[in-house]
Amino acid sequence: MSTFQAPKGTYDLLPPNSATYLAVREAISGPLKNSGYGYIETPGFENVELFARGVGESTDIVTKEMYAFETKGGDRLALRPEGTASVLRAALEANLHKGGNLPVKLWYSGSYYRYERPQKGRYRHFSQVGAEAIGTEDPALDAELIILADQAYRSLGLRNFRILLNSLGDKECRPVYRAALQDFLRGLDLDDDTRRRVDINPLRVLDDKRESVQRQLTGAPMLRDYLCEACKAYHEQVRELLTAAGVAFEDDEKLVRGLDYYTRTTFEFVHDGLGSQSAVGGGGRYDGLSEMIGGPALPSVGWALGVDRTVLALEAEGIALDIPAATAVYAVPLGEEARRVLFGTVTALRRAGVATDFAYGGKGLKNAMKSANRSGARLALVAGERDLAEGLVQLKDLESGEQTPVALDAVVDEVTRRLG
């Protein structure tokens, strides 16, 4: 009988590697928790319509990559392909914007799903940490989010990432640019799919990675030449705030990102060590999304950083995170009485906050000590019948090999003293 395997394009996170993923999530969320962002969790699936409207009907995500299905009750649902639409839906449903304290600042962490061609750094199931600041239009908020992501990456030791920055204009100036771009694109030699995109969302054509398309885009009208005065001033403030904070960025006038809801500020974090899948995360301002999904006008900004991609970036820079061993003390009982007594000691150590494990399954001394060394523990507690008769256990330092008898009732104090 063949065993089951994980579905194509997915992966299992297993120890010890999973500890790195947890540390990355912790590092990305740390600056957010420190800046007024509260944690939110939304369902793994939503109504298809939320993403069709919110992410955009013409996007690859909705047309090609979304896992959509019909339930037994006839509901049309989709596994979430991204986080922003769900978070905004939840905030609107709970009326968080009516609490009188705008912006509503939220952060989240979870799995997302897209039916894509699997390759290194691009999976059908992937993990992100994201942040959204809902209900306020302020360049300082855009800058804050970029600075917090930069801080998170620097806390992990990453150095070889770049921040790309652009402005997509707003509902005043973007339509003028859109019309000019459509005129230009209609004169090019494009396939039917791309022509359809020219009609629905021409900015996405700029994002087309194919050489045959990119070659023809030379001389295309540039958005910066069409920005209205308000958008120019807004963008300049974001740039000034980032510069004042010492955060380096590159202006990238072709940056449009893959979602329809962005306005004004858009940005991307890229890492040159990742080959063609160089984006590790990104985001931007989405002032019209709330109205698109049936809410009031709530100008907002946010980002999502890929946990998988960040781990690949760490590998590309040769950074090994300093992750403490999961176990500090490993208890090795020799005989039934020792098993009973030491199990009680293990429980007491855990209650005192010491990460402790136990040699289960009645292993002999040699095998149990091998397990103790493999666990990464610093100390081993070893006790046999003779030790217990004297009210002692042997405390062994697994680094130096030094062994000391310790009174049974003093074990917790002695262990916590040694571990500092």
Report pLDDT digits (tens) over 27-65: 999 999 999 999 999 999 999 999 888 777 666 677 778
Is 295 domain-assigned? Answer: yes
Confidence category of residue 278, pLDDT binned at 50, 70, 90: confident
Is 388 domain-assigned? Answer: yes
> What is the pLDDT averaged over residues 400-405?
95
Confidence category of residue 258, pLDDT binned at 50, 70, 90: low
Residues 124 and 43 in one domain: yes
Is 8 domain-assigned? Answer: no
Residues 39 and 66 in one domain: yes
Between CA 123 and CA 141 the distance in angstroms is 31
Virtual CA dihedral for 413, 415, 417, 420, nearest 10 degrees? Answer: -140
Residues 345 and 296 in one domain: no
Is 398 domain-assigned? Answer: yes
Confidence category of residue 290, pLDDT binned at 50, 70, 90: very high
Domain CATH for 386: 3.40.50.800
Residues 78 and 112 in one domain: yes
* Domain end (from 316, 338, 367): 316
3-state class (DSSP) for residue 311? helix
Looking at the structure of the chain, the number of domains it has is 2
pLDDT tens column, 154-178 = 999 999 999 999 999 988 888 888 8
Residues 385 and 305 in one domain: no
pLDDT tens column, 117-149 = 877 778 899 999 999 999 999 999 999 999 999
In the chain the first and final C-alpha atoms are separated, in Å, by: 51
Residue 398 has pLDDT above 70, yes or no: yes
pLDDT of 259: 59
Residues 384 and 360 in one domain: yes
Residue 263 has pLDDT above 90, yes or no: no
Residues 107 and 140 in one domain: yes
* Domain end (from 293, 316, 339): 316
pLDDT of 200: 80
Confidence category of residue 387, pLDDT binned at 50, 70, 90: very high
Is 96 domain-assigned? Answer: yes
pLDDT tens column, 179-196 = 998 999 998 888 888 888
Task: Supply the range of the domain harboring residue 39.
Answer: 17-173+227-316
Residues 31 and 122 in one domain: yes
Residues 347 and 310 in one domain: no
Residues 251 and 342 in one domain: no
Domain CATH for 47: 3.30.930.10
Residues 249 and 292 in one domain: yes
pLDDT tens column, 304-347 = 999 999 999 999 999 999 998 889 999 999 999 999 999 999 99
Residues 159 and 231 in one domain: yes
Q: How far is CA 121 from CA 11, 150, 202, 207, in A?
A: 11, 20, 27, 19
What share of the chain in percent tops pLDDT 90? 72
Per the prediction, the chain carries an average pLDDT of 92
Cis amide bond preceding 202, omega within 30? no
Burial class (CB in 10 A: 0-12, 13-18, 19+), 338: buried
Is 62 domain-assigned? Answer: yes
pLDDT of 53: 82
* Domain end (from 316, 346, 361): 316
Between CA 87 and CA 105 the distance in angstroms is 11
pLDDT of 187: 87
Is 187 domain-assigned? Answer: no
Tell me which DSSP letter residue 18 carries.
H
pLDDT of 257: 66
Is 10 domain-assigned? Answer: no
The pTM score is: 0.89
List the one residue out of 372, 363, 362 whose CA is nearest residue 327: 372
Handedness of CA 304, 245, 137, 106 (dihedral sign): positive
